[in-house]
Every structure is written in C-alpha cells, then in structure tokens.
Amino acid sequence: MAGMESPGVLDEDDALDLLAFLVTSARTQVDEAREYGPLRLIMAAHRVADAMGPRSSPETQALIARDLPDDAVHRPADGRRGRRLRRPARRAVCGRRAAPDRALRPGRAVVTDAAYRSDPVLASIRRRRVTRAMTSEPLDRHLLETVLDAARWAPTAGNRHLQRYVVSDHPGTLRALRMVSPGMVQRPAAVIAICVDRPLAAAYGFPARATGPYVDVGTATATILLAAQAVGVGAGPVTSFSHAAVSVVLRLPDGWTPELLVCLGRPAPAQPQPVRRRNRLSWRDLTTWVPGPS
C-alpha cells in the first residue's frame, strides 16, 4: 500500500526454494497425470505461506489460516467441501468395470482377516502407510544400514542387482533435493535414491528402454518401505523430481539414473490427508480369474 512500510516476508533462500519448486514442477508435470497440475500450484501456495508465516502480520496469518485451500477443490462459500477440479474415473479392470465387492463379501473375512491376524509379515504389509510428515529428529546411521541391508534381499531379475543406492542424511543436500522434487511433501531426515546403473544394464544386454530394471526398482522400493516400518522409521516414495537436478545434487556417476527417492524419518504424530482418497479397492477389484472364479 502507498506510503506504508512493507517488510519482506520471504528471504532470498525462501524465494530460491520456491523458484526451484515451480520450475521443477513445470518440468515434471510433462510426464505426470494432469491432476498434478493444480495440486502443485496448491503445494507452491503452501510453501509460500509456510515461509512467510513468521514474518507476516497477524491479519495476513489469519487470512492464510482461514482461506488457503488444502487441495484443488472448489469450496462453496458455506465452507462445505466442494467438487474436485478433476476426479479421475475409477478404472475398469480388463476393459470392464470390476464386480462390486459387496456381492462377494461372505468369503472376504475368511481369506484375509485371519491370515492378517496370525502372520506378522501380512500384518506389516497391511499396516504400512506412506509417511508425509516427519519430525526433525535425525536417524541413526545403523537404522539406515539395516534398511539398506534389507533392500539387498529384494528380488532382482536374473539376480543381477542393477540398482545402486545413493544415500544422504546431510541437511544441505536434503534441502537441495527437496527444492527440485515437487513430490517431496515431507522434510526427511534421510533420503535413499534408488538408481539404475545403465552401463551395467547395457553390459547385460538390456536395450536402453527396457522395463526390467524399473521392475527391480519397484521390488527394492517395496522392501525398503517395509524394512523402514519394521525399525520404526516412516518412509515415503517420491518419483516427482527433476532427474537432471537430482543427478547433480547427488553427484551421481555417469550412467547412473535416479529412478525413485525414498524419504525416511520419524513419523510426526499428525499426518496430512492422503493426496487423493478414492473408494477402497479390494483384491477382487484388481483381479481377474481365468477361465473364471471357482
């Protein structure tokens, strides 16, 4: 306002964080589902609000607390939650809509609940959730080593082990990673970058676009998420990041491509809502029997 002193509410580091977030969001959006566009803008708004919070006036803080939406939805004036900007249609299985779970419910408890109660591995699989809010507590190196050792036991095609793990618990490196990773909602205490050693894959005869090495990244990720949970560490996978920037930040050797970042840290007591809620799918929704169910 004319004539009024307006103190800066973002410092240079905050502004740089935001610029990196916006630019890498634009780049990663090219390869992502369209619904991530509005989500990234809301995330950018939250990052601005978080950074300016302590330096803005009480009136501005109150305005932000009241009016900043937490996701890309239209909110009616009465505060009720409105329609999402874009809700993807529930996907049909094998080209047709999956049979409603309701019709098959009688067998469900028999198949699942007893087994989940009696087997700790199944119970752990069911309990695991992505951690998107982490405390600032550092993680002991031995915990990270346990998780990395478990990852080594993940199955890999031909037992080739084409993936490499690049780990950091250095605050400056973690901050730089977060700047170029729009999908990194949490502030992790450590990150494991799962990379593929492309020259090694080529030496085994994999064509450049082969999908096999990506599958190994998936088995490693699942193993790491469960291992982290087993030692009381929260974990969250992230694939929305600038591959070029992450390679630079982590000083990756030539030919190592970063495919997935696993954020690690102690879970905060309150977790944000999942990015998107949809009707819970049962295994039946995802499964087709051939020639047909018995």
Ligand X SMILES: Cc1cc2nc3c(=O)[nH]c(=O)nc-3n(C[C@H](O)[C@H](O)[C@H](O)COP(=O)(O)O)c2cc1C
Residues lying near ligand X in the complex (CB under 6 A) = 129-130, 132, 183, 185, 236-240, 274-275
Long-range CB contacts (within 8 A, 24+) of 118-121: none
Nearer to ligand X, 253 or 272 (CB): 272
Shortest-Cβ-distance residue relative to ligand X? 183
CB nearer ligand X, residue 30 or residue 103: 30
Strand 256-265 relative to strand 190-197, pairing: antiparallel
Contact 145, 196 (CB under 8 A): no
- Minimum Å gap between C-beta 218 and ligand X is 7
Give Cβ neighbours of residue 220 (< 8 Å, ≥ 6 apart): 151, 154, 156, 163, 165, 194
Pairwise CA distance, residues 271 & 234, whole Å:
11
Min CB(133)–ligand X separation in Å:
11
Q: Which is nearer to ligand X, 33 or 92 (by Cβ)? A: 33
d(CA 245, CA 249): 6
Q: Which CB atom, from 125 or from 202, has the smaller least distance to ligand X?
A: 125
Reduce the DSSP state of residue 160 to 3 states and report it. coil
The closest alpha carbon to 73, from 58, 59, 60, 86, belongs to 86
- Give the shortest CB-287-to-ligand X separation in angstroms: 18
Nearer to ligand X, 90 or 141 (CB): 90
Q: How far is the CB of 236 from ligand X (least distance, A)?
A: 6
| Shortest distance (Å) from residue 203 CB to ligand X | 26
Decide: residue 88, CB within 10 A, 0-12 exposed, 13-18 middle, 19+ buried: exposed
- 253 vs 274, which CB is nearer to ligand X? 274
Minimum distance from residue 240 beta carbon to ligand X (Å): 4
